[in-house]
């Protein structure tokens, strides 16, 4: 299960992608959604992680996503899946 001390690094990585204007707007919106889901303290960790992974999985396959942003998303997904 994900530890709270890992959350800031994950959120920082997602925030960097969300603020990047070279990333398509639809992807940035999904990244923001994933961040909001992770931040919902009224839900259990496993639910927050699963919902965030679902949102991120949908954007990682976007053909318009720059390769470096795709790698950043995969990195965050990997961190979430390992928890």
Give the model confidence (pLDDT) of 38-83 as tens digits.
988 888 888 999 999 999 988 888 899 999 999 999 999 998 888 7
pTM metric for this prediction: 0.86
3-state secondary structure of 40: coil
What is the signed CA dihedral for 66, 69, 70, 75, rounded to 10 degrees? 160
Q: In 10 A of CB 10, how many CB atoms?
A: 21
* Measured distance CA(49)–CA(63) in Å, rounded: 24
Domain spanning 4-81: which superfamily? Ta0600-like (1.20.1440.50)
């Amino acid at each position: 299960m994900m530890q709270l001390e890992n959350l800031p690094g994950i959120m920082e990585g997602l925030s960097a992608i969300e603020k990047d204007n070279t990333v398509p707007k639809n992807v940035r919106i999904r990244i923001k959604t994933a961040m909001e889901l992770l931040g919902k303290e009224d839900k259990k960790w496993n639910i927050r992680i699963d919902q965030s992974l679902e949102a991120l999985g949908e954007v990682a396959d976007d053909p318009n996503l720059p390769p470096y942003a795709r790698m950043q998303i995969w990195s965050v997904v990997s961190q979430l899946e390992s928890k």
